[in-house]
């Protein structure tokens, strides 16, 4: 196997007839460890979203560097990267950055799919069960306690203030 078609690597991709992988195989007189192949998440080079390719894309062309739909990445002159998959509020990065939370999530789903021999849909369900979404109510729950604490403090201030007796 070669890396990008030019550099030789020590990796071999084998296909087995069984869904259960052996832990190792013998190549000549050498034992070789076997591990499942985990492909990289599929990213569309047209809309920059995960899960499909540009040949099956129904989205609008989007710049992979700044997430603009006004131009492509070849003509982008933006200094600030922005990911179309994460949006605002994240660490600035482009759609092709491997530290992108959306990429990391998709990679984890692909790992679950490969290691547990599941369909993509089943792997996504397993991922979602182990990573429950936080509701809006859960996110602002601590704000209610903060407001209540401020209200109590303000009451104390009102009672201590001679103008309000």
For residue 162, is pLDDT > 90? no
- Comparison of pLDDT for 85 and 153, the residue scoring more: 85
Of residues 132, 134, 113, the one with CA closest to residue 122: 113
Q: To which H or E segment does residue 8 belong?
A: strand 7-8
What does 26-88 look like in DSSP terms, one character per residue?
EETTEEEE-----PPPPB-TTT--BSS-GGG--SPP--TTT--SSS-GGG---SS---TTT-T
Of residues 136, 138, 113, the one with CA closest to residue 126: 113
Determine the Cα–Cα distance for residues 75 and 73; give it in Å rounded to an integer: 5
Determine the Cα–Cα distance for residues 15 and 78; give it in Å rounded to an integer: 44
What average pLDDT does this structure show over 53-81? Answer: 92
pLDDT of residue 154: 52
* Secondary structure (3-state) at 162: helix
What average pLDDT does this structure show over 50-67? Answer: 94
* Secondary structure (3-state) at 5: coil
* Secondary structure (3-state) at 135: coil
Query: Facing residues of 117 across strands?
Result: none
Residue-wise pLDDT tens digits, 117-138: 899 999 999 999 998 887 777 7
Determine the Cα–Cα distance for residues 101 and 154; give it in Å rounded to an integer: 41
Determine the Cα–Cα distance for residues 15 and 73; give it in Å rounded to an integer: 37
pLDDT of residue 58: 94
CB atoms within 10 A of CB 65: 24
């Amino acid at each position: 196997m070669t890396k990008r078609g030019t550099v030789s690597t020590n990796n071999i991709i084998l296909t087995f007839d069984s869904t259960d992988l052996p832990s190792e195989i013998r190549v000549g007189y050498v034992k070789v460890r076997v591990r499942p192949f985990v492909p990289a998440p599929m990213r569309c080079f047209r809309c920059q979203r995960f899960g499909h390719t540009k040949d099956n894309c129904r989205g609008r062309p989007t710049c992979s560097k700044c997430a603009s739909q006004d131009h492509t990445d070849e003509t982008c002159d933006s200094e600030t990267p922005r990911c179309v998959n994460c949006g605002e509020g994240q660490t600035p990065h482009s759609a092709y950055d491997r530290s992108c939370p959306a990429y990391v999530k998709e990679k984890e789903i692909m790992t679950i799919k490969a290691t547990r021999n599941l369909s993509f849909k089943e792997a996504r369900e397993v991922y979602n069960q182990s990573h429950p979404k936080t509701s809006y109510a859960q996110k602002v729950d601590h704000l209610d306690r903060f407001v209540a604490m401020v209200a109590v403090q303000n009451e104390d201030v009102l009672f201590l203030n001679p103008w309000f007796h």
